[in-house]
Amino acid sequence: MIDEKFDAIVVGAGMAGNAAAYTMAKRGLKVLQLERGEYSGSKNVQGAILYADMMEKIIPDFREDAPLERHLIEQRFWMMTDNSHTGLQYRSDEFNEESPNRYTIIRAQFDKWFSSKVREAGALVVCETTVTELVQDAYGKVIGVKTDRGGGQIHADVVVLAEGVTGLLGTRAGLRKIPKPTEVALAVKEMHFLPQEVIEQRFNLKGNEGVVIEAVGTISKGMTGMGFIYSNRECISVGLGCLVSDFQASGVSPYQLLEKFKSHPSVAPLLEGSEVKEYAAHLIPEGGYNAIPQLYGDGWVVVGDAAQLNNAIHREGSNLAMTSGRIAAEAVFQVKSRKDPMTAQNLSLYKKMLDDSFIMKDLKKYKDMPKLLHIQSQNFFLTYPQLVNKAMENYLRVDGTPKKEKQKLTMKSFVSARSWAGLFGDAFRLARAWR
Ligand SMILES: Cc1cc2nc3c(=O)[nH]c(=O)nc-3n(C[C@H](O)[C@H](O)[C@H](O)COP(=O)(O)OP(=O)(O)OC[C@H]3O[C@@H](n4cnc5c(N)ncnc54)[C@H](O)[C@@H]3O)c2cc1C
């Protein structure tokens, strides 16, 4: 049992929790961080791309000793059918800058490093400890936590809920609802190990350069979802995720989809001869702006995935998690500095600061996107990728058919799949949700 009272208790040591605990401890607050895993990162799953700008705002010189894999110089987007893909590719030497913008990382290593910084900043970090309950006073104010170690209650002025996507603690305490199956994706991921030089050869890389491939199409069988391939130093992360509601409706298992993705003729050669050493599955919040719950209350704030702060359209999550953790910590620090109580009214500062940040601006911008992609999933994730690939094949195959006839054939295949009104309708809805 810990007898002291803390300024803040942080539940969870993922990106959001570490950012919050680090920022508060660095500002001199007395912080206790509780993590159920054996160590920070042991339970956490990510592709994983680290966005340096957001990390720099927490630890400016993180590049000096953080475990980074490769900095990204190239992004490929693939629209796939079962035996082909049409790609869009951006590669730039500009990304070989002195302080690169995006890196691949391995979360188990990165979180462990981040946690060591939290400890150095002065927070008390206790792992292998699950918070089982939020302690509330007679007025419903959160005043502390109980853990599976027994020993009664631990008290703090404020509890920062950084417990990840399922957010069981907050939902059990009635602070928010359990995310709906239409609001979360289930992703599975494998780590394929290969010698460094083989990875560099296969992806056309040198030194620490890295590539990301993101893919949609028949690989998700018409479900809202995507596949990814990330190059690390000595391994390749390959994974795929779709909305839980779509998995429920289709009866397809994520593992079957991943096997199919890996055996695709465009993917298999990249993985050939590799040794799989890790397999992981995790949920991703994908409900966007409309799924964000109440973010603060008397004695508590919620950050990161637990607050559904995830930009699925741009595949950004960890940066929203660490930024919301940092902002929540700064808000707590301001309230504390004024010697004000941690009431909902005072903690609403966190929401105001979040509204002013890129997080809420981006999520608000795409607020109609998750619903649109879900309702039109057959079109966007099955029909259109097939049509685009067919059109490419038709365009490239030289078989004596006059070009005019080929064009007609392509147009005809689009119109027979969707009427002109349907095609324009989808384009219009997509443009409106994207604007
Ligand atoms: C397959 C996959 C690929 C992804 N790729 C990317 C990517 O490339 N880039 C990107 O930016 N984002 C990506 N994301 C999203 C990103 O991983 C998340 O947005 C991010 O990890 C959220 O951080 P968090 O701290 O909120 O939650 P988490 O990282 O999930 O951390 C929550 C922590 O809380 C702990 N915890 C939970 N309950 C309790 C409790 N009761 N008591 C104590 N501890 C508790 C957990 O053990 C965990 O350590 C990906 C996600 C997945 C699943």
d(CA 301, CA 260): 41
pLDDT tens figures, 102-139: 999 999 999 999 999 999 999 999 999 999 999 999 99
Which pair of structure tokens corresponds to residue 391? 């059109």
Does ligand 1 lie within 6 Å of residue 20's CB atom? no
Q: Which atom of ligand 1 is nearest to the CA of 309?
A: 19
pLDDT of residue 411: 87
Element (DSSP H or E) covering residue 244: helix 244-250
CA of 18 to the centre of ligand 1 (A): 11
Closest CA to 172 of 212, 119, 132, 127: 132
Does ligand 1 lie within 6 Å of residue 319's CB atom? yes
Does ligand 1 lie within 6 Å of residue 47's CB atom? yes
Does ligand 1 lie within 6 Å of residue 323's CB atom? no
CA distances in angstroms from 63 to 43, 50, 100, 122, listed in the order given = 24, 12, 9, 21
Per-residue pLDDT of the chain (435 residues; tens, 9 = 90+): 577 899 999 999 999 999 999 999 999 999 999 999 999 888 788 888 999 999 999 999 999 999 999 999 999 999 999 999 999 999 999 999 999 999 999 999 999 999 999 999 999 999 999 999 999 999 999 999 999 998 789 999 999 999 999 989 999 999 999 999 999 999 999 999 999 999 999 999 999 999 999 999 999 999 999 999 999 999 999 999 999 999 999 999 999 999 999 999 999 999 999 999 889 999 999 999 999 999 999 999 999 999 999 998 898 999 999 999 999 999 999 999 999 999 999 999 999 999 999 999 999 988 887 777 777 788 888 889 999 999 999 999 999 999 999 899 888 888 877 767 777 777 777 777 766
d(CA 118, CA 58): 11
Mutate to test the pocket of ligand 1, among 9, 23, 42, 46 (most ligand atoms within 8 A of CB): 46
- Atom 12, ligand 1: residue with shortest CA distance: 317
Q: Which atom of ligand 1 is nearest to the CA of 42?
A: 49
Does ligand 1 lie within 6 Å of residue 35's CB atom? yes
Closest CA to 157 of 320, 30, 249, 260: 30
CA of 45 to the centre of ligand 1 (A): 6
- Atom 38, ligand 1: residue with shortest CA distance: 163
Does ligand 1 lie within 6 Å of residue 316's CB atom? yes
pTM of the model: 0.94
Q: Which atom of ligand 1 is nearest to the CA of 187?
A: 1
Mutate to test the pocket of ligand 1, among 163, 189, 230, 311 (most ligand atoms within 8 A of CB): 163
CA of 312 to the centre of ligand 1 (A): 14
Number of H helices, E strands in the chain: 16, 17
User: Residue 93 carries which DSSP code?
Assistant: G
User: Which residue blocks in 75-203 are alpha helix, DSSP H?
Assistant: 107-121, 168-172, 196-202
pLDDT of residue 133: 95
What's at 365, amino acid-wise? K
Q: Which atom of ligand 1 is nearest to the CA of 317?
A: 19
Does ligand 1 lie within 6 Å of residue 15's CB atom? yes
Does ligand 1 lie within 6 Å of residue 326's CB atom? no
Does ligand 1 lie within 6 Å of residue 125's CB atom? no
Does ligand 1 lie within 6 Å of residue 336's CB atom? no
Closest CA to 336 of 323, 324, 350: 350
CB 118 within 8 A of CB 27: no
Place of tokens 């049509």: 387
Q: Where are the beta strands (DSSP E) in 92-183?
A: 102-104, 124-126, 131-136, 142-147, 153-161
Q: Which atom of ligand 1 is nearest to the CA of 305?
A: 26
pLDDT of residue 1: 58
CB 49 within 8 A of CB 102: yes
Closest CA to 134 of 167, 178, 182, 101: 167
Closest CA to 147 of 163, 135, 130, 161: 130
- Atom 30, ligand 1: residue with shortest CA distance: 164
CA of 285 to the centre of ligand 1 (A): 10
d(CA 69, CA 50): 10
Which pair of structure tokens corresponds to residue 2? 């810990």
d(CA 169, CA 155): 16
